[in-house]
Amino acid sequence: MSPTTDMSIADSNMLFSDLPMHIQDKFQAIAYKSDSGQTARQFFHTEVPDISKADPEAVELLLDGGTVLIPQDVYHQGAGGVQTEAVEYTLPDRDFSRIESGANGGDYTSDNVVLEDMSINRSRGAEDMTDVEYESATDALQGDADILSNRLGDVADVGTSDLTAAAEVSGESVLETAFESVLPISMGVKGAHSAWQATSHLPNDERVAVTALAGGGSVLATYTLLAVPGVNILVAGYGIWQLTKLACAGIDHVTKNA
């Protein structure tokens, strides 16, 4: 019997009943081979680690294999040290391997079966499983069950959500760049223009100096406002309104002079 199961048979039977029928059928197929009358529920109880019993997808992955995404700490030199990333993890297709082989009289019973990597089981041929092979199979099974309990999802699902999130972040970055660069320049130009009109009575050298100071001050003030939460939304909205006015004016000018 696998050493990874402490759940009561009653609880295990309830979880077996919750499995989709195509997964139940996999255990039923082994039960049909049992000369001693072992049932599908008994094989589910003894061979599937407790941590996976309530997770039908994990049960199927332990049986048929597949690739999932799991969190893993990855070290990046010069990029913030250790970062948690989603990496692919592949599980093997498993057989219900007999510890004492069928050629040597071994039956399909809960104390003579363990879920094992298909390639290892079939390369053994008619030989009995050694103690080392049995321990390796049970350790690998429990290890995969533990990994599946922390999986992020399958590759297709997580890949799609990551692309969506990346697109959203990318869109936000473009808008932020636009507001943080175009808007201050626009405000600086408006400030300089207003100062130039208001200082027509001054000598040109003083007029240029005041205009430059006003333009630079407008740029600095706009950057300061953009850094304040809440206020930056209002400023951004004003910037959109001004840019829209400018675009409409340009279109009108082109239309009239066409």
Q: Confirm whether 245 is domain-assigned.
A: yes
Same domain for 131 and 169?
no
Same domain for 17 and 134?
yes
Those residues with Cβ within 8 angstroms of residue 36's Cβ, 6 or more apart along the chain or in another chain: 107, 109
Same domain for 144 and 177?
no
Within a 13 Å sphere around the CA of 225, how many CA atoms are in the beta-carbon half? 19
Share of the chain above pLDDT 90, in %: 51
Q: Confirm whether 4 is domain-assigned.
A: no
Q: Confirm whether 36 is domain-assigned.
A: yes
Q: Confirm whether 215 is domain-assigned.
A: yes
Same domain for 125 and 169?
no
Same domain for 100 and 70?
yes
Same domain for 16 and 116?
yes
Distance CA 15, CA 23 (A): 12
Q: What is the pLDDT of residue 86?
A: 93
Domain boundary among 93, 122, 151: 151
Q: Confirm whether 1 is domain-assigned.
A: no
Same domain for 85 and 197?
no
CB 71 within 8 A of CB 158: no
Domain boundary among 151, 182, 209: 151
Same domain for 16 and 140?
yes
pLDDT-derived band at 97 (thresholds 50, 70, 90) equals very high
Asked if pLDDT for residue 229 goes beyond 80, the answer is: no
Same domain for 185 and 228?
yes
Domain that holds residue 243: 158-256
pLDDT in tens, 171-202: 444 444 445 555 566 665 666 566 656 777 77
Q: State the distance between the two ends of the chain, measured CA to CA, in whole angstroms.
A: 88
Same domain for 128 and 33?
yes
Distance CA 38, CA 154 (A): 33
Global pTM reads 0.60
Total domains present in the chain: 2
Least confident of 19-23, 72-76, 150-154, 207-211: 207-211
Q: Confirm whether 133 is domain-assigned.
A: yes
CB 181 within 8 A of CB 223: no
Domain boundary among 133, 151, 169: 151
Q: Residue 94's beta-bridge partner residues?
A: 117
Q: Confirm whether 207 is domain-assigned.
A: yes
Same domain for 58 and 132?
yes
Same domain for 54 and 145?
yes
Q: Confirm whether 170 is domain-assigned.
A: yes
